[in-house]
Amino acid sequence: MAERSFAKEVQQLRIGAGEEFRGEGILAVTKALLECGVGYVAGYQGAPISHLMDVLSDAEDILGELGVHFEQSGSEAVAGATLAASVHYPIRGAVTFKSPVGTNVASDALANLSSGGVTGGALIIIGEDYGEGASIMQERTHAFAMKSQLWLLDPRPNLESIVKAVRDGFELSEVSNTPVMLEMRIRACHVHGRFMAQDNVRPKMSLAEALENPKRDLNRIVLPPASFLHEKEKVESRWPNAVTFIKERGLNEFFGGDGKVGIVLQGGMYNGVMRALQRLGLADIRGHTDIPLYVLNVTYPLVDDQFLDFARDKDAVLVVEEGQPNHIEQAFGAMLHKAGLETKLFGKDPFPVAGEYTGPVMLDAIRGFLLENAPAVLSDSDRAPNRPQMELPDLSKTVPPRPPGFCVGCPERPIFAGMKLVQEELGEHHVAADIGCHLFSIMPPFNIGASTMGYGLGPASASAFNVKAKKRSISVMGDGGFWHNGLSTGITNAVFNKHDGVILVVDNYYSAATGGQDIPSSRANNKSRSTAHPITEAVKGVGAKWVRQIDRTYDVTKVRDTFREALTTNEKGPKVIVASSECMLNRQRREKPQMAKAISGGERVVKPKFGVDEDVCTGDHACMRLSGCPSLSVKELDDPLRDDPIAAIDQNCVGCGNCGEVADAAVLCPSFYRADVVHNPTRWDRRIAKFRQGVMSWLQKRRDARRLVFAAEGA
């Protein structure tokens, strides 16, 4: 069950021609796929296209009605290879994943697919994770398109353009026998907008028909001599066909008048460029401008004569190309040079070479370009701004950084608390971290983890440390990474190479960081997937001997002791610890409504919450250095005798138990208590509680009668 449900939104996928669709970018993409008669869709979750997978999952009924097969791929490599169904058969297929990391994983399949070519339209929808909010290395997918010669669409970031790109993409793929990548930037994935829908179309050929009438063509298989033929085909027929289609169908767009300066831009940059022009008084909110714009909705391949025609009568052209290297600018430079044109080319100057093209970057660069090449179009104040920029108050020392971290009640927190404790005993160790929520361990308060080498590659990245030493390496991966590739690259490899390190598998029942999608070891009952395959079974199956299963990660003492054993045992080979507790975000989403219903239905429900005795807490914050839970915070007491704020637990506490367990395992303090509220208590509950209260209050009164009792604070 995913973190966000689109059950309501997906109903819009049923609308037909003439109706208006309103919603998010990714939902629009799904609708467009259905309108294009797609035969199958697959993918692997990851921001910013996680929700696309969630939408597809929630839309399985609708997909089924149309005869569209949907598959939640085991990895991006699987997703890429899935497109093989479009090699021989005229079936349209689409896959999706995050990029460039997902494309890295899928690149083997994509390179093979691009070599042999496709018959049915093959669309790869990539979520380009670049700029603010990105969680990965800052690279471009563009180079992948270039090296494998598959086409790259980068539509303007509005729903009409995105939907059109899907429709064009399939056709382009088919006329040029080449897979096509459709690049969606982070914000475009979640942009709310609208477009006019068309009717959904059933696939021309179903997968069943293909299976029952198998085809093969030796020329499409990547093996010599066909592979040499493929390379020729790419440049002699597929590329020219693509260029012709792009030109004839007007995939790239021209806006503005015929000034002496022009701007060439990636489609995805359009709104940013227009906003800069609006602020310079050179465009209006409806998209009218006098500055000539050449919008590359297709960023690969480039159309030489289209660009040269645009540049020919201009003094200067600015290329707006985000990220680096500046492949497009370089290509344009070569074109101008070969054509012997004098047009000046600008790009990474005035634009900065690295970094996102944010509002201010865009404004400064375009203003700079115009100032140098067409100062007359600028207003006086833009030409020579004489109003000094207002000094911002310096809050850098006041506003604390707030990086992402573990949620309230996260089951991974106690695992790292246990690790921190064991390191306090046995010294610091080399910890190879991995991609997933568990990577938050690298930040305060845990400060655990030295590297990440790619999803599921945590244990693999400790491979070299397979030598005799006084300490063992510790490596981490999540259940998502485990099934993605970690079982083979991490566990199997360690068993095979007799690695002596410790491998932690953080099992939270989902691919949690990407939004809680099910994976093979999920405990959920998923009607369309086979789940509940224990990780320990898989690990043992590939030959690991020292395997420990922790069923409640909140047991910090057990976590710590298991780590201690793993780090000190004489047993050879990898020491695998599988620590399992359900992702709290998902658990709450599932249990909260159930609990509320049970309570209102009169059932007996026990609801836990933790608290801190404020007169017992001394304000040393040792507990927080082993937690970082958003719910466990500090508060000032109105007590002149106190200097430092004390610990306090707010109402968001879900009673996970970490506070109490940590206080116990680390022998911190007796300030923590768990208060269980019994809703709808039974008659027995009430009777015994009444009896107990009677005894206690008698004892309390007895004691209070013999000493001074002060009124409570603030009373």
- Cis status of the peptide bond prior to 360, with omega within 30 of 0: no
The nearest distance, CB 631 to another protein, in angstroms, is 10
User: In this structure, what are the phi and psi dihedrals at residue 594, rounded to the nearest 5 degrees?
Assistant: -60, -45
Binding positions for another protein, 149-168, rule CB under 8 A: 157-158, 160
The nearest distance, CB 612 to another protein, in angstroms, is 9
Q: Which is nearer to another protein, 230 or 484 (CB)?
A: 484
392 is written with which tokens? Answer: 């911002």
Member of 346, 440, 482, 509 binding another protein (CB under 8 A): 440
The nearest distance, CB 267 to another protein, in angstroms, is 13
Candidate ranges 69-77, 173-181, 318-326, 639-647; the one touching another protein (CB under 8 A): 639-647
**Which runs of E-coded beta strand occur in 592-700?**
605-612, 632-635, 646-649, 672-679
**Which runs of E-coded beta strand occur in 369-448?**
431-432
Binding positions for another protein, 172-191, rule CB under 8 A: 186-191
The nearest distance, CB 461 to another protein, in angstroms, is 20
Residue 372, CA atoms < 13 Å, CB-side half-sphere: 15
Q: Which is nearer to another protein, 316 or 632 (CB)?
A: 632
Nearest CA to 88 among 224, 229, 228, 220? 220
Contact 577, 566 (CB under 8 A): yes
Binding positions for another protein, 474-513, rule CB under 8 A: 513
Q: Does 632 bind another protein (CB under 8 A)?
A: yes
Binding positions for another protein, 359-418, rule CB under 8 A: 359-360, 363, 390, 392-393, 395-396, 398-408
Binding positions for another protein, 196-255, rule CB under 8 A: none
Member of 13, 47, 53, 68 binding another protein (CB under 8 A): 47
The nearest distance, CB 655 to another protein, in angstroms, is 10
Binding positions for another protein, 453-472, rule CB under 8 A: none
d(CA 441, CA 425): 19
Q: Does 291 bind another protein (CB under 8 A)?
A: no
Q: Does 706 bind another protein (CB under 8 A)?
A: yes
Contact 545, 517 (CB under 8 A): no
Q: 615: Cβ–Cβ under 8 A, 6 or more apart, which residues?
A: none
Binding positions for another protein, 420-439, rule CB under 8 A: 437
Binding mask 525-564 for another protein (x = CB under 8 A): --------------------------------x-------
Applying CB under 8 A, the site for another protein has a residue count of 132
d(CA 85, CA 116): 12
3-state secondary structure of 295: strand
The nearest distance, CB 573 to another protein, in angstroms, is 32
Candidate ranges 304-312, 354-362, 367-375, 536-544; the one touching another protein (CB under 8 A): 354-362
Contact 506, 436 (CB under 8 A): yes
Member of 214, 224, 602, 640 binding another protein (CB under 8 A): 640
d(CA 318, CA 330): 12
d(CA 287, CA 390): 30
Task: Please name the helix (run of DSSP H) or strand (run of DSSP E) that holds residue 557, with its range, or none.
Answer: helix 556-568
d(CA 430, CA 467): 13
Q: Which is nearer to another protein, 353 or 678 (CB)?
A: 678
Q: Does 624 bind another protein (CB under 8 A)?
A: yes
The separation between the first and the last C-alpha atoms of the chain, rounded to the nearest angstrom, is 48
665 is written with which tokens? Answer: 């395992």
The nearest distance, CB 620 to another protein, in angstroms, is 4
398 is written with which tokens? Answer: 């006041």
Member of 138, 206, 241, 278 binding another protein (CB under 8 A): 278
Candidate ranges 101-109, 175-183, 211-219, 442-450; the one touching another protein (CB under 8 A): 442-450
For residue 436, count other CB atoms closer than 10 A to its CB. 26
Binding mask 659-678 for another protein (x = CB under 8 A): xxx-xxxxxxxx-xxxxxxx
Q: What is the largest CA-CA distance in the chain?
A: 104
Member of 19, 61, 108, 284 binding another protein (CB under 8 A): 284
The nearest distance, CB 238 to another protein, in angstroms, is 33
The nearest distance, CB 602 to another protein, in angstroms, is 11
- Nearest-10 crossing angle of helices 270-279, 359-373: 60
Contact 186, 128 (CB under 8 A): yes
